[in-house]
Amino acid sequence: MWARLVVAPWWVLWLVNAATFTIALSVICGLGLPGFAASGWIWPLLSVLMFSVIVTALTTPARRPIQQSYARTVTGLDLAQRSQAVKALRGGEVPSDPAVLAAAIRIGDLSMAYRRRVPVWQRRVAWAVPVLWVVAAVLEFVGNDMRAGLTWSGLALLVAARMARVIDKARRLPGRLEVLRAAADASPQALAVLAQAHDTAAPPPGLRFRLALAAVVIVAVFAGVFAVYQQAQPSRDCRTADAVVNYIHANPEMLDASLIAPGGPGLNRYRDWSDRLVGYSRQVSAPDLAPHLQRIAKISTDAVSVVTEARGDSFANPSTDEILTRQTAYHTLVGRLIDEDKALIPPCHPHR
């Protein structure tokens, strides 16, 4: 891939970088952030795409001088020759073509020059990324979110492995360059190419670029945090559903079939209880909540009818069979109501 992109125009690099960044960030957010697509995939993916396009639009031109410095080392080489030069640096066969051999040495010298420019502390701080992802994975496992925990663990392992590979390649590069230089000493043509080369490392991006990139990242982070916070807040319909659940559990005497006979809570208590549930059902329109609330309202009105029949004639003494029949009917209604009550929780609290 490097052998192709090193001579590619800037817009090709931009498209490749934007596509790669978009795919990687979408996978990370989709698997690692449970609420990323809670309200659908379209807007989250468009947000990731926009962020990726903006970031890569800044980083691609900033890294263009580095790419051009490498492109000069392979001037005149075709794709196969460029690939051979890269393989020679990675431990492959020493090129017999003097032009390819010289290009491999020039690429290696530039790589070492760019690496020397990176401070030691910066290389060490880079390891904070996989460490933080390990911490995130542990927190997700503690919170019983296996998918997010496995996602962050996999990312930490992947990044750590890639960083270790880069370190290993950098460690072996000086020795490999010595082998290639020894071969070049026996090739006057390769020595002539190296003598004419004046490769220098491109200067690092200026302060203006670093400030612009930092501003974009900061704005994106704040926007992401705000979006996550907004998604974490329950919707109006979910707040109503939570109120219904809390109200039902705050009045356990309304669920006790043994109390519907005379002597239990007043009939007005049952009517107020039902009216409150009916009122809640009229406040919700979400398709995954409204049917449950409407059934709860209907069940509560049926329950009040059973209690009204049980209290209908306070001077009559109903038989034991009548009492048991009404209590059984009420108990059945309460069972259905509790089932509908439980069905309100998953749409608003999927991880509870």
DSSP per-residue string spanning 107-120: HHHHHHHHHHHS-H
Same domain, yes or no, for 108 and 211?
yes
Do 98 and 193 contact (CB within 8 A), yes or no? yes
Same domain, yes or no, for 220 and 252?
no
Same domain, yes or no, for 209 and 252?
no
Domain boundary among 217, 232, 247: 232
Domain boundary among 215, 232, 249: 232
pLDDT at position 224 is 67
Same domain, yes or no, for 134 and 279?
no
pLDDT at position 54 is 86
Domain span at 220: 1-232
Same domain, yes or no, for 141 and 261?
no
Alpha helices in the chain (DSSP H): 2-5, 10-32, 42-73, 79-89, 98-117, 120-125, 128-142, 146-185, 188-196, 207-232, 236-250, 267-281, 290-310, 320-343, 345-348
In the predicted model, residues of the chain with pLDDT beneath 70 are 34-35, 37-40, 224-225, 227-234, 313-316, 318, 351-352
Q: Is 179 helix (H, G, I), strand (E, B) or coil?
A: helix
**Number of domains into which the chain is organized:** 2
Q: What is the per-residue burial (b if ≥16 Cβ within 10 Å, else e) of 168-184?
A: eeeeebeebbeebbebb
Q: Does residue 77 form part of some domain?
A: yes
Same domain, yes or no, for 141 and 215?
yes
Do 95 and 104 contact (CB within 8 A), yes or no? yes
Q: Summarize pLDDT for 28-52 with one digit per residue, the tens.
A: 888 777 667 666 678 788 888 888 8
Same domain, yes or no, for 30 and 54?
yes
Q: How many residues are listed for the chain in this entry?
A: 352
Q: Does residue 350 form part of some domain?
A: no
Q: How far is CA 274 from CA 40, 295, 302, 327, in A?
A: 35, 12, 9, 18
Q: Does residue 26 form part of some domain?
A: yes
The pairs formed by 281-286 with CB atoms below 8 angstroms and a separation of 24 or more are 283/236, 283/237, 283/240, 284/237, 284/240, 284/241, 285/237, 286/235, 286/237, 286/238, 286/347
Same domain, yes or no, for 145 and 250?
no
Q: Does residue 352 form part of some domain?
A: no
Q: Does residue 262 form part of some domain?
A: yes
Same domain, yes or no, for 332 and 223?
no
Structure tokens at 149: 């925990």
Do 289 and 347 contact (CB within 8 A), yes or no? yes
Residue 75: closest CA among 88, 90, 85: 85
Do 178 and 91 contact (CB within 8 A), yes or no? no
| Cα of 262 vs its chain's centroid, Å | 58
Q: Cα separation of 224 and 44, whole Å?
A: 10
Secondary structure (H, E, C), 67-87: HHHHHHHCCCCCHHHHHHHHH
Same domain, yes or no, for 152 and 275?
no
Same domain, yes or no, for 23 and 101?
yes
Domain boundary among 203, 232, 261: 232
> Whole-prediction pTM value?
0.61
Residue 345: closest CA among 230, 248, 217, 207: 248
Same domain, yes or no, for 203 and 323?
no
Q: From the CA atom positions of the chain, what is the Rg in Å?
A: 35
User: Residue 256: what residue type?
Assistant: D
Q: Summarize pLDDT for 228-284 with one digit per residue, the tens.
A: 666 655 678 888 999 999 999 999 999 999 888 888 888 899 999 999 999 999 998
Q: Cα separation of 114 and 199, whole Å?
A: 12
